[in-house]
Amino acid sequence: MNTSTSKNPPKIVVTGRIPEGGLDLLRSAGDVWAWSGDDPAPRDVVRDQLADAKAVVTLLSDQVDDDFLDAAPNARVVANVAVGYNNVDVDACTARGVRVTNTPGVLTEATADLAIGLLLASTRRLGEGERLIRSGAEWKWGMFMMLGTGLQGRQLGIVGMGEIGTATATRARAFGMDIVYHNRSAASAEVEQRLEARRLPLDDLLAGSDVVSLHCPYTAETHHLIDADALASMKSSAYLVNTARGPIVEEAALVDALGDGAIAGAALDVYEHEPDVHPGLLDLDNVVLAPHLGSATVETRTAMAELAARNVVAVLRGDDPPTPVN
């Protein structure tokens, strides 16, 4: 624990390990209790610390619900270190006068990079190739060995044309892909012109795209947005990439679609019941699996922690936070 030099410094609870740069900013504004383990802090340990906390920095593994807020009656701000905040009951926080903040923007480039990496790993069968080499099995080059599919002239369907979706589309355009997207509102004229992107209804996007990449937020409306019917409407040669949130995809339906050849492959960084992964996915060669690495660069995670800290500092000073949710 680190105590500031203020006479009565506000207590700030950090529920999980974050980069030191974020902690340094928090220490300048209050008395910081921070969990230092790599695993999530036990809920009872966090609850004990929340009783007199004025601010709480949370991670995706935390569920900020009524029970959590009951344990933190003095909290003024919950700063979620993530672009998403589906783990936070924003309405419950608002009803109690608790500000909620997140960390958008700073993870855009890293997540878009990973989406393209997963796209390439899936369409070029890199996961299968690496597993073959590591298995020690005999192999030799052949004209038809592990043929994948090229990207040039293929259609990429972006579901959710926000900052990350746009950044992913920009990278895909450099590979020669044609861009279509589905979004509640149209992208700017500049984005559409630069990417030669067309906005489509979701059904049309799914039916015509060679790769579908998910970048929409997780809400009640997007829960199982990609279900059995959606997967059945896709081309049998198509690939699905998900770097958004796991429950957007009905995982059991995806296992069936991959196993039956309804789609050619998938690449996932997030899971419906994370950190648990549907066991059916583990047995399939035509799916690439990553352990939620979307923002996992040193630079990005540091920027996320520092932005969350700046949000806390602003609220404790009585100012508007840089990235408010409510």
List pLDDT tens digits, range 178-233.
Answer: 999 999 999 999 999 999 999 999 999 999 999 999 999 999 999 999 999 999 99
**63 with 167, same domain?**
no
**196 with 176, same domain?**
yes
pLDDT at 41: 87
Within-domain flag for 142: yes
Kindly report the CATH number assigned to the domain that includes residue 168: 3.40.50.720
pTM of the model: 0.91
Within-domain flag for 76: yes
List pLDDT tens digits, range 281-314.
Answer: 999 999 999 999 999 999 999 999 999 999 999 9
Measured CA to CA, the distance from residue 179 to residue 167 in angstroms comes to 12
**113 with 99, same domain?**
no
Active site residue 245: yes
**101 with 115, same domain?**
no
Q: How many domains does the chain have?
A: 2
List pLDDT tens digits, range 25-44.
Answer: 999 999 999 998 888 888 89
Beta-strand pair 198-199/178-182: parallel
Within-domain flag for 181: yes
**213 with 95, same domain?**
no
Active site residue 130: no
Within-domain flag for 6: no
Within-domain flag for 322: no
Q: At what angle do helices 20-27 and 298-316 cross, to 10 degrees?
A: 10
3-state secondary structure (DSSP) of residue 186 = coil
> 139 is written with which tokens?
């192999």
Active site residue 292: yes
Looking at 109, 163, 192, 274, which residue is catalytic?
A: 274
Residue 208 CB-half CA count within 13 A: 17
- Residue 21 lies in domain: 11-106+298-316
Looking at 47, 173, 199, 292, which residue is catalytic?
A: 292
Measured CA to CA, the distance from residue 26 to residue 46 in angstroms comes to 18
Looking at 182, 245, 278, 310, which residue is catalytic?
A: 245
**55 with 174, same domain?**
no
